[in-house]
């Protein structure tokens, strides 16, 4: 039996994490779920975020006999992990900004994240623990999340707008932590508007290694990928473009969650 891996995000940014995990575990069965009805998560209260996330993930864990859950959202990871780990009997892996590896190579670090992640006490504790002698500058942007989502369905990134957002960091940081799973999709554009003079670090590869470690070694009797399943919580006007993206990544067409609106 293939391992069943559930990857969850508020949008399609978690596909950057999926790519890293799928590279290391190509024969697993993947279920990708995103709560677009509540996108972006940074604007929700903690209680609503916990309620929505646990409802969706519990539903899919039962439906697919999931072996491991990956919360591919920095905002959700800092809030819902204790609740999910208390409710589920399977491993739950979260995402945290890659401050530690960044501090190993630089003292001029920029943390690019959502406004919610930038404000979290957890983020400042990471900096204090792993980058105490570094100059870490924080920049929170919801618009970058939207730009990444748009790029994934074929919309060109406005480089002037991107440059304006990142202008406070021009020539001031040499290493940028991509503290949102959407941002790796903007990697080339970020380097371009900052003249290529930055190192970009994200958590995707580390998450994939952790998932592989937790699942352990197992024999596969197949040599072909299994089509993945993808679910969202609300209809989207970009369904055709989204389905094209998901099919290219090895998923079946988009399905909708049985989910009460609240």
Q: Which residues are catalytic?
A: 73, 180
Is 86 a known ligand-binding residue?
Answer: no
Q: Is 142 annotated as belonging to a binding site?
A: no
Q: How far apart are CA 117 and CA 124, in angstroms?
A: 10
Residue whose C-alpha is closest to residue 24's, from 5, 52, 47: 5
Please tell me whether 9 is known to bind a ligand: yes
Calculate helix-pair angle for 204-215, 15-24, nearest 10 degrees. 50
Listed residue (113, 75, 120) closest to 94, CA to CA = 75
Length of the chain: 262
Write the CA distances from 164 to 60, 75, 143, integer angstroms.
Answer: 40, 24, 12
42 is in an annotated binding site: yes
Answer yes or no: is 167 a known binding residue.
Answer: no
What are the angstrom distances between the C-alpha of 52 and each of 104, 138, 158?
36, 28, 32
- CA 58 from centre of chain: 19
89 labelled ligand-binding? no
Known binding-site residues for substrate equal: 9-10, 41-42, 74-75, 181-182
Annotated binding site: 9-10, 41-42, 74-75, 181-182
């Amino acid at each position: 039996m293939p391992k069943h891996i559930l990857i969850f995000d508020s949008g399609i940014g978690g596909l950057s994490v999926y790519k890293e995990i799928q590279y290391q575990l190509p024969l697993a069965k993947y279920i990708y779920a995103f709560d677009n009805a509540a996108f972006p998560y940074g604007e929700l209260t903690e209680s609503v975020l916990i309620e929505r996330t646990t409802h969706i993930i519990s539903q899919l864990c039962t439906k697919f006999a999931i072996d491991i859950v990956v919360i591919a959202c920095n905002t959700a990871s800092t809030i819902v992990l204790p609740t999910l780990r208390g409710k589920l009997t399977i491993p739950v892996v979260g995402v945290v900004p890659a401050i530690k590896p960044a501090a190993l190579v630089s003292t001029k670090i920029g943390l690019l994240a959502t406004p919610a992640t930038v404000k979290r006490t957890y983020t400042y504790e990471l900096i204090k623990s792993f980058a105490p002698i570094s100059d870490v500058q924080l920049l929170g942007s919801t618009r970058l999340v939207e730009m990444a989502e748009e790029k994934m369905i074929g919309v060109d990134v406005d480089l002037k707008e991107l440059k304006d957002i990142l202008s406070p960091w021009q020539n001031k940081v040499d290493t940028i932590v991509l503290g949102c799973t959407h941002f790796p999709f903007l990697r080339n554009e970020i380097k371009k508007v900052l003249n290529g003079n930055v190192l970009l670090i994200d958590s995707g590869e580390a998450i994939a290694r952790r998932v592989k470690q937790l699942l352990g070694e197992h024999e596969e009797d197949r040599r072909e990928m299994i089509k993945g399943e993808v679910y969202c919580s609300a209809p989207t006007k970009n369904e055709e473009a989204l389905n094209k993206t998901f099919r290219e990544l090895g998923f079946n067409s988009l399905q909708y969650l049985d989910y009460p609106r609240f």
